[in-house]
Every structure is written in structure tokens, then in C-alpha cells.
A and B are shown apart, each in its own frame.
Chain A
Amino acid sequence: MAAALASRLTKGRSLLGGLTNAFSGLVSSSSGSILSQQQRTFIQMGTRLKVVDNSGAKEVMCIQSLRGKKGARLGDIVICSVKESATKVDVKKGKDAIQKGKVKKGSVVYGVVVRAAMQKGRVDGSQVRFDDNAVVILGIKEKKTDEKGKEKKQNYKGGFNQPLGTRVFGPVPHEMRLKKQLKILSLAQHLV
């Protein structure tokens, strides 16, 4: 906890590191509003994201954001590389079963960002932000030695609507409706 706090404070341009919770909280609140508020930014190359469906992957690293020059936001699609996947020992049967086309470590996948630590504004003036960054995997990017780019584009042109897994964990924002991810909306436990 203290380490996480320290890393977050350094991100917010504060000079504290490794101090206790209470003390650092006191100092950051007195040193001005800009320092104590954390400006979260986009999801870009290198961002680690949590996977919140049962597609087999656990943690994923973004390697390309398909939308936006600065990076992806809530609701955008990203290309990721699977860094950590559920091991074979995991649940095979029942509701939590890992899918047949199980995503393995090292494979490149498409995912839609369902939770972002960066706030997203809505049309009615409200904003929403989550405590973590999470994706739902939509499809695997197949590797082919020839015709790599062109063939992929034709395959996935309009069809990013079906998630790979069958369950989605955690809250899902309404932005999914605007991004036409209706399946994810219907699978969600809780709509924000």
C-alpha cells in the first residue's frame, strides 16, 4: 500500500517517496490543489491493463491504441499483448470455464477499454472514472507471415462487437452503448 501510494505521489509530481500514509497525505493536501489531484492520462503503449472477462488472459499490455493520437480512453479499442494468462490449472468447467479458443501468453489481441482511470466526460456534464484500467478482449489478431496488415483490416472492419469471453466482471459504463458494444453491456454485472 505504501509503495503504491509512493509511486502515485511521484506521478503527481510530489517529492515524497516511501513515507507513511498519514504524513504524506497531510503534506500533499497542504501543498496545493494541483499536486494533490492526480491527472490520469490515456492508455498508451506500455500500459498494463486488467482483463475482466473469462477469455483466458489475466493481464495485458497495450501496444497500440486504435483511436486517438495521444492514446485510448474509456470505450476505445486497443491492440494488446497478453502478458499473463490464466494457467491450465484453472477452472475448466462450470460458469467460469476458460473458453476453447483460450488466449495464451504472448498472443496479440484486440480489446475494448471498459474501465479507465482517466475521467470521461458525458454529454450531460457528468464525468466518470474508475480506480483501475480494464479491457474486455474482443478478438485475437492472427499472425501471418504475408499479407499481415491488409487481411486483418478486412476481417475486423466492422466486427468488433463480440467479446471473446462469455462473462464480464465488475462495473461497466454506459459508454459501451455508444461504442456499440451491446454484448458487453448485456453481460455486465453492474452498469454505471
Chain B
Amino acid sequence: MATSSHLLPPQALHMIRSQPSKKLGFSPFLSCAPSMNPILSISRLSLSHSVSKSSFSLDTKARREVLVRAEDNPEAVDANTATEDNVVEADEAKAPRKPRVKLGDVMGILNQKAIEVSEKVRPVPEIRTGDIVEIKLEVPENRRRLSIYKGIVMSRQNAGIHTTIRIRRIIAGIGVEIVFPLYSPNIKEIKVVSHRKVRRARLYYLRDKLPRLSTFK
């Protein structure tokens, strides 16, 4: 787990239980690493874990089946693979087929899984453009206490796990805009303080308006 941890987004680490078997890295890893090319990740893992040739080839063939299995019963995967070894998993892959996941849906499913994982740790409230929001952020450079960012949500870009919101505020006389990924583990708390009625999805006009409109105490 430690060897592949640098490849994984932090959310994915939640999914991977501390299993001793090398195989286990695969199924939960595949199901929650949305940004990784599955083929590339498999090859990396195989090198780092020095998985035997037979199991490697098996997995590239059974990649889709593995994904299908993971999608249907994520908890069962972890429980099963605790006691399984390579041979048993080979049998499961050839077992009665579940509806095949189409290649086009893969990213959507991966993103959903990653979002679920992140939601378990910290639920994200409903945030829309025009909300005045307060975010408590843990900055690795400033380990002492949480930084607080307050401001109006200028835009929300939906991109699965990398859904971001853009916060604008006048700080010390200068307008500052910060883009936060909503599901980042660094964000410790998001709170909607109030709401301003806006008739746009993106409030870029605020940049040209008076600073008074972007000031929030």
C-alpha cells in the first residue's frame, strides 16, 4: 500500500484496506483512481509489487470484469479478497456475467466512487453561485491552525471529483479569487453563511464592479 500511495489521490487510500495480498491493490485501486490510465497504473503496480506474470496478464484481460464486480458490491470485494488468492479470483472472473460496463461510462463511475469516498469523510453542502461561503482550509505550509476563506461563490465548475468553486473577496483592499476543489481533503469545513440573489451562473462582472460588492466581513 505504501509503495503505490504516491500514485493515488488521497481519497482512494480510504478504500484500500490494509490487506497483505498484493492482488488487492488492484480492484479498489482501479475503482477509485479516476485520473489514472488503468493500463498505465496496472503496469506500474505490477512493477512495484512484482506481481507474477500470470496474474498480471489475467488482470489486463479481466480488467472490465473486475470493474463490474467492484461496481456491484464494493464491500463484498474487500471482504472476498481478504481470503482469496489468485486462483479463486480467476474463477470469479469467469463466473456468471453481470451487465457489462460500457467503456464510455467508466470515468463517470470512477468519479462517483471517488465522490462517495470523499462524502463519507466530510459531506459537502449544496453550493450554488451567489452563496456567501466560509471555508476552513488546512494549509500544509501553515500547520498551526486552519485558514479561513470567506467570500462569494463566483462560479461552480462541475467535473466529477474536481468540482471546483471560485470564491471572491476583497482582502486588505485587493480583490482575491481562489479556486477550491470541493472534495479536497484539505478542506475541513464548508459553511454557507448567506445567499445573494444573482441572475447569472458565473459572476465575472464582479471584477469590474465596486469593491464594496465583493466585501464580506
Contact = CB atoms under 8 A, between A and B. Distances in A.
Interface of A: 1, 4-5, 8, 21, 25, 29, 36-38, 115, 119, 123-132, 134, 169-171, 174, 177-178, 189-192
Contacts of A177: 141
Instruction: Determine which residue in A1, A130, A178 has the highest number of CB atoms from chain B within 10 A of its CB, and name it.
Output: A130
A131 B175 contact: yes
Nearest to B9: A125
Nearest to A50: B174
Given A125-B162, A126-B181, A170 B173 contact: yes
Contact of A130 (B176, B179, B200): B176
Given A36-B204, A129-B176, A174 B171 contact: no
B207 interface: yes
Given A126-B180, A170-B172, 6 more contacts: A29-B204, A123-B140, A130-B177, A171-B174, A171-B176, A190-B172
17 contacts: A25-B208, A36-B204, A37-B204, A38-B204, A115-B174, A123-B140, A125-B162, A126-B179, A127-B178, A128-B176, A128-B177, A128-B179, A131-B174, A169-B172, A170-B172, A177-B141, A191-B142
B139 interface: yes
Interface residues of B, number: 26
Interface of B: 139-142, 147, 162, 164, 171-181, 184, 186, 200, 202, 204-205, 207-208
B142 A174 contact: yes
A92 B167 CA distance: 39
A131 B207 CA distance: 8
Contacts of A129: 176-178
Given A5-B208, A21-B208, A36-B204, A125 B181 contact: yes
B75 to A, nearest CB: 29
B122 to A, nearest CB: 14
A186 to B, nearest CB: 13
Given A29-B200, A36-B204, A127-B179, A171 B184 contact: no
A21 B164 CA distance: 28
A5 B210 CA distance: 12
